[in-house]
Amino acid sequence: MMDVPSENGGLIVRGLTTTFDTSRGQAIAAADVDFDVAPGEVVGLVGESGSGKSVTLRSIMRLIREPGHVSGRVEWRGRDLVAMPAEELRKVRGGEIAMIFQEPMTALNPVLPIGMQIEENLVAHTTLNARERKARALELMNIVGIPAAERRLQEYPHQFSGGMRQRAMIAIALACSPKLLLADEPTTALDVTIQDQILKLLLDLRDRLSMSVVLVTHDLGVVAATCDRMAVMYAGRIVETGTVVDVFSKPRHPYTRGLLGSVPRSGASRSVLQSIEGTPPSLTNLPAGCAFHPRCKFATEHCLRERPPLEAVVASGERMVACFHHELVAAAEAII
């Protein structure tokens, strides 16, 4: 994997590991996570619920609290966020790096007007006076497409629809024109028309602000429509990375192949969708060797004994996979 120059606005994540102490032992929510995000690039983190996607985003922002523990390196503009003093990190959060949380109704403060919640970010990261902050909040509401913006600045989250709350969350995240946006399933529970609007808005803002985006989703359709590159996660580890075109056209990990096979395809003849048998493993009791082997039809004795490392399968390092049998997977019959 080629390092992106973090001094130029890129993000480099290396060996990011997050564990939680539980009554049943240590739960490994994310383990040795490696990926890069280039300036202006949209990278998708994909996987089933519980695969470690949201934990990875929160770990990057150091939002994991006890009994959680985060280690590894998260390099942003030449600085390691994991080792950064808390006071310095507060200047980065919301200013240089912003986050859209999964559930706007729980992320937004129910007793504060939307306008005040936008202005909180501006107070923390800018020198704007009260009049300038209000003007900026109004500008942001208009940018994200909230109608009657001036009136709605005074309204509360419960007075907004689901799509409008999501737009308000985006407005708060964009208040200080961040260079990196971490979006945790920003279209969850929205109907398809609103989902499309939100995704187009994110891409438009990416172009307008020269902003990088890490998009967490379980929806491969969203990845195909918005992302440049993707990383597939399973049981807390990245098992495959590459450009969206390469991964969709020739998956090299059995889990990626299973995810793609479970998605309906336009223009295809009617057929039964494939499924991945079994369920994800417990994070406190991961199987030996490859965590996916109990659900994998390509598994051999080697997979049961040893965990495959995430390795480059092309010279450029743009395509990486953690599978001993990736060539067999790539050569398997095309997914219908």
pLDDT of residue 270: 63
Tens digit of each residue's pLDDT (9 = 90 or more) over 278-305? 889 999 999 999 999 999 999 999 999 9
Tens digit of each residue's pLDDT (9 = 90 or more) over 169-196? 999 998 998 999 999 998 876 778 888 8
Average of pLDDT values for 247-260? 94
Query: Is residue 126 scored above 50 in pLDDT?
Result: yes
Beta bridge partners of 213: 42, 181
Average of pLDDT values for 309-313? 93
Average of pLDDT values for 187-208? 84
How does DSSP classify residue 219? Answer: -
pLDDT category of residue 269 using cuts at 50, 70 and 90: low
Q: Which of 145-159, 174-188, 257-271 has the highest mean pLDDT?
A: 145-159
pLDDT of residue 268: 56
Query: Is residue 264 scored above 80 in pLDDT?
Result: no
> Distance (Å, rounded) from C-alpha 232 to C-alpha 56?
12
Mean pLDDT taken over the chain: 90
pLDDT category of residue 274 using cuts at 50, 70 and 90: confident
Query: Is residue 6 scored above 60 in pLDDT?
Result: no
Give the global pTM.
0.90
Helix (H, G, I), strand (E, B) or coil at 195: helix
pLDDT of residue 104: 80
pLDDT of residue 336: 47
> Distance (Å, rounded) from C-alpha 76 to C-alpha 178?
12
Better-scored residue on pLDDT, 186 or 114: 114
pLDDT of residue 298: 94
Per cent of the chain over pLDDT 90 is 71
> Distance (Å, rounded) from C-alpha 11 to C-alpha 9?
7
pLDDT of residue 188: 74
Where do the domains of the chain lie, and which CATH numbers do they carry? 6-96+178-265+273-331 (3.40.50.300), 111-176 (no CATH)
> Distance (Å, rounded) from C-alpha 175 to C-alpha 122?
7
Is residue 239 within 8 Å of residue 292, measured between CB atoms? yes
Is residue 115 within 8 Å of residue 154, measured between CB atoms? yes
Query: Is residue 273 scored above 90 in pLDDT?
Result: no
pLDDT of residue 75: 97
pLDDT of residue 116: 96
